[in-house]
Amino acid sequence: MPLSDNEQRLLDEMERNLYKNEADVVSTSGLTRAPNYSAIVVGVLIGLVGIVTMVVGVYVSMTIVGIVGFAVLFGGVMVAAAIPSKSAPSGTTPRGASAQPAASSTNLMDRLNERWDRRQGGDRF
C-alpha cells in the first residue's frame, strides 16, 4: 500500500533529520581516529610482564609480588586501551578519514549509496 503525500513528506523529513543528527554525532565523537598501535604493543608487553610477575608471586607464595604483578598488568591494560590524542601531525589525515574537506556537499548516506551503486554495477570503490 503506497504512502500518502503527507506520510511521504513526514518520512522524508524524519530521514533528513536522522542523517543530519548522525553526521553531527560522528563528527563530534572523534571516531575517525586511527588506533595507536605502538601504545597497544607496549601495553600488551607490560601486561605480559604483569602476568608473569603474578604467577611468580603465587609460585613463591609472596602476596606482595602478586599484588605488584596485578598492578603492572592493570597498568599495561590501561596503556593499551588509551584513547589516542586528538591532534594528528600536520599534513596528515587519520587512516579512516578522507582527504576531502569536512564541509562537503554530499552527506554520508549519499556517499554510501553511491558506493553501493558502483558495487552493484561491478565497479570497485
pLDDT average, residue stretch 106-124: 74
3-state class (DSSP) for residue 107? coil
End-to-end CA distance of the chain: 36
What is the rounded CA–CA span in Å between residue 50 and residue 23?
Answer: 41
Q: What is the pTM of this model?
A: 0.45
Query: H or E stretch including 7?
Result: helix 5-29
Query: Residue 111 pLDDT > 60, yes or no?
Result: yes
47: nearest Cα among 82, 12, 21, 99:
82
Q: What is the pLDDT of residues 47-86, one digit of tens each?
A: 999 999 999 999 999 999 999 999 999 999 999 888 776 6
Residue spans per domain, the chain = 34-82
What is the rounded CA–CA span in Å between residue 86 and residue 106?
Answer: 25
Average pLDDT of the chain?
77
Buried (b) or exposed (e) across 10-42, using 16+ Cβ within 10 A? eeeeeeeeeeeeeeeeeeeeeeebeebeeeeee
